[in-house]
């Protein structure tokens, strides 16, 4: 395939991805689905306008003297705290700067059209980085992974949210792209790649402390490839990032900073149940259940990932495991917020893309059935529940029977085209599900 054709196809998929992310992005997920969107925006605005970190928090570590003001928006109560030291501040500058440029008022009702706008830009960057990474596995995996990440509701809806984990996705992908280049390219391009690796290791921690998984993963991979000096440099950057965040805490209120760290890591212990929550929770934020089948399909595809010979896929799997292990230790509480795992979503998409490529290679009947049963049927159910395309129960049942007959005809007379038929339907209904909200 020529480079020109590759560029055209990638551009078309990126346009599709941006269009789907832009469609009703200011109304779904709903206003107030998580008020962390307000917390990050107000934190950025307060730092940019006054140099003081202030935002809402209900952590019990804050006393009366830390409360700046209290008010309600749409029956949601807010307690504005200063200094706000719940998390590192880096991500907050993105929605905060957009809000200020748009003359939004701080600590007041906010416009999702404004604060979610930069997430659309971030989503475009993440889609492009995902393709660059997945292409290192194979060109087909690159296209399948990009199509999945661009169109699947499971990936589209979360990417709209004003949450720090969406910036962590950028650092996860950029780091993996740079690491692949560093390990596989000639010396002339290694310096730039390693600089990107160091930058991602540093900035991820200042985005959210769980971003530490990037530095830990880099250290492991570099040591495994006998690059001890480079691993030591990443260790230095890891400590530099922790020291930088600590200095931030010292500047504003060091005892309170230590209390916030201790509370987030220790005081909310209620059993290490993160693995159970991760495997059994199906929602976009902390709100209503959302099941379009893609999470299950991606988790099934991880079994295929383990058996692959590609070193890139093995490193993607290792990064995914590093992050999940870190969350298992760092989230020892009964509450599980879906956005904790956003950073591994593109890695799951690449896993699914590789799995689909294998389905096509083997012309797998079982794989085609998985596409229909795990993905298409849940999507049909969502469309029916949304009263989209007038899919009542009778039409729904009739369509399933018709689909089964078409499937049998393809299997009997055109088995080679069966995966194409199944996947085409899945991607069409991906789009329809997004348009139904």
**What is the pLDDT confidence band of residue 400, given thresholds at 50, 70 and 90?**
confident
Asked whether residue 270 carries a pLDDT value surpassing 60, the answer given is: no
Q: 49 lies in a domain?
A: yes
Tell me how many domains the chain contains.
3
Q: Is 388 within a domain?
A: yes
pLDDT of 280 above 80 = no
Residue 385: burial class (beta carbons within 10 Å; 0-12, 13-18, 19+): exposed
Q: Does the structure show a pLDDT above 70 at 26?
A: yes
The count of other CB atoms within 10 Å of the CB of residue 365 is: 15
**Same-domain status, 179 and 262:** yes
207-221 burial: b if 16+ Cβ within 10 Å, else e: bbbbbbbbbbbbbbb
Q: Is residue 16 in some structural domain?
A: no
Query: Which of 63-77, 110-124, 181-195 is the most confident on average?
Result: 110-124
CA 216, 222, 223: angle at the middle one, nearest 5? 90
- Going by pLDDT thresholds of 50, 70 and 90, the confidence category of residue 281 is confident
The closest alpha carbon to 174, from 223, 132, 113, 222, belongs to 132
Instruction: Determine, yes or no, domain membership for 245.
Output: yes
* Among the ranges given (37-51, 174-188, 211-225), the one the predictor scored with the smallest mean pLDDT: 174-188
Q: 250 lies in a domain?
A: yes
* Low-confidence winner among 127-131, 259-263, 281-285, 370-374 (lowest mean pLDDT): 281-285
Question: Do 111 and 123 have their domain in common?
Answer: no
Order of strands across the sheet with 55-56?
Answer: 55-56, 76-81, 67-73
Determine if the peptide bond prior to 273 is cis (ω within 30°).
no
**What mean pLDDT do residues 180-190 have?**
81
Domain stops at, among 58, 87, 115: 115
C-alpha distance across the termini of the chain, in Å = 36
219 with 293, same domain: the answer is yes
Q: What are φ and ψ of residue 17, in 5° steps?
A: -60, -45
**pLDDT-wise least confident of 111-120, 279-288, 357-366:** 279-288
Assign 199 to helix, strand or coil: helix
pLDDT tens-digit series, residues 4-20 = 999 999 999 999 999 99
* Spatial distance between the Cα atoms of 86 and 261, rounded to a whole number of angstroms: 8
pLDDT in tens, 44-66: 999 999 999 999 998 889 999 99
CA dist., res. 48 & res. 97, Å (int): 7
| Per-residue confidence (pLDDT) for residue 174, from 0 to 100 | 98
Which residue, 200, 238, 227, is CA-closest to 90? 200
Residue 11 is assigned to a structural domain of this protein: no
Q: Give, as one character, the DSSP assignment of residue 58.
A: -
The answer to whether 214 and 200 have CB atoms below 8 angstroms apart is: yes
422 plus 375 within the same structural domain = yes
**Count of beta carbons in the 10 Å neighbourhood of residue 406:** 12
CA dihedral 230, 236, 242, 246 (to 10 degrees): -160
Report the range of poorest mean pLDDT among 147-156, 214-223, 340-349, 359-368.
359-368
Q: Does residue 321 share a domain with residue 200?
A: yes
Residues whose CB is less than 8 angstroms from the CB of residue 165 and which lie 6 or more positions away in sequence, other chains included: 208, 339, 340, 342, 343
Query: Where does a domain end: 92, 115, 138?
Result: 115
Same domain flag for 300 and 403: no
Can you tell me the distance from the alpha carbon of 254 to that of 264, in angstroms, rounded to the nearest whole number? 15
Stated as kind and residue range, the H or E segment containing 67 is strand 67-73
Residues 168 and 134 in one domain: yes
SS3 of 69, please? strand
Range of the domain at 382: 363-435
- Please give the average per-residue pLDDT across 302-310, as a whole number: 81
Query: What pLDDT sits at residue 89?
Result: 96
Is 26 among the domain residues? no
Residue 183 shares a structural domain with residue 305: yes
| pTM exceeds cut of 0.75 | yes
- What is the DSSP code (8-state) at residue 289? B
Specify whether 84 is located in the same domain as 123. no
pLDDT at 273 over 90: no
- The verdict on 147 and 198 lying in the same domain is yes
Q: Are residues 151 and 207 in the same domain?
A: yes
**Cβ contact 353:148 at 8 Å:** yes
Q: Is residue 31 part of a domain?
A: no
- Confidence grade of residue 102 (pLDDT, cut at 50, 70, 90): very high
Q: What is the pLDDT of residue 319?
A: 95
Residue 56 DSSP class: E
Confidence of residue 391 (pLDDT cuts 50, 70, 90): low
Q: Are residues 324 and 379 in the same domain?
A: no
Q: Are 82 and 43 in contact (CB under 8 A)?
A: no
Provide the total of helices (H) and of strands (E) in the chain, helices listed first.
Answer: 19, 3
Backbone angles phi and psi of 234, in degrees to 5? -65, -40
Predicted local distance difference test score (pLDDT) of residue 417: 79
Residue after which a domain boundary falls, among 115, 130, 150: 115
């Amino acid at each position: 395939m020529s480079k020109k054709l590759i560029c055209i196809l990638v551009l078309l998929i990126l346009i599709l991805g941006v269009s789907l992310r832009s469609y009703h992005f200011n109304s779904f997920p709903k206003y107030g689905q998580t008020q962390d969107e307000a917390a990050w925006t107000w934190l950025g605005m307060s730092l940019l306008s006054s140099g003081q970190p202030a935002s809402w928090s209900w952590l019990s570590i804050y006393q009366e003297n830390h409360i700046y003001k209290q008010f309600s928006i749409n029956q949601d109560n807010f307690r504005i705290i200063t200094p706000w030291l719940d998390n590192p501040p880096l991500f907050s500058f993105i929605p905060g700067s957009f809000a200020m440029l748009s003359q939004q008022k701080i600590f007041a009702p906010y416009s999702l059209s404004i604060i979610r706008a930069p997430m659309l830009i971030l989503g475009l960057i993440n889609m492009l980085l995902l393709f660059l990474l997945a292409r290192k596995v194979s060109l087909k995996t690159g296209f399948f992974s990009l199509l999945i990440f661009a169109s699947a509701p499971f990936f589209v809806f979360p990417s709209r949210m004003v949450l720090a984990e969406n910036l962590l996705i950028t650092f996860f992908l950029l780091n993996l792209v740079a690491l692949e280049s560093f390990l596989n390219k000639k010396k002339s391009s290694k310096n730039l790649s390693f600089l990107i690796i160091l930058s991602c290791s540093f900035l991820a921690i200042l985005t959210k402390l769980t971003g530490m998984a990037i530095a830990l993963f880099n250290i492991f991979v570099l040591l495994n490839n006998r690059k001890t000096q480079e691993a030591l440099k990443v260790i230095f950057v890891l400590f530099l990032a922790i020291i930088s965040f600590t200095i931030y805490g010292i500047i504003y209120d060091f005892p309170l900073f230590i209390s916030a760290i201790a509370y987030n890591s220790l005081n909310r212990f209620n059993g290490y149940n993160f693995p159970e929550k991760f495997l059994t929770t199906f929602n976009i934020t902390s709100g209503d259940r959302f099941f379009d089948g893609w999470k299950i399909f991606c988790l099934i595809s991880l079994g295929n990932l383990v058996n692959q010979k590609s070193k890139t896929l093995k490193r993607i799997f290792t990064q995914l495991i590093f992050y999940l292990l870190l969350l298992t230790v760092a989230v020892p509480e009964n509450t599980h917020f879906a956005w904790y795992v956003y950073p591994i979503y593109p890695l799951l998409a690449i896993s699914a893309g590789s799995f689909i490529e294998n389905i096509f290679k083997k012309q797998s009947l079982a794989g085609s059935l998985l596409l229909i049963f795990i993905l298409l049927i849940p999507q049909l159910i969502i469309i029916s529940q949304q009263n989209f395309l007038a899919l009542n129960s009778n039409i729904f049942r009739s369509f399933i029977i018709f689909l089964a007959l078409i499937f049998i005809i393809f299997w009997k007379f055109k088995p080679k085209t069966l995966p194409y038929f199944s996947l085409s339907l899945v991607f069409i209904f991906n789009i329809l599900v997004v348009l139904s909200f």
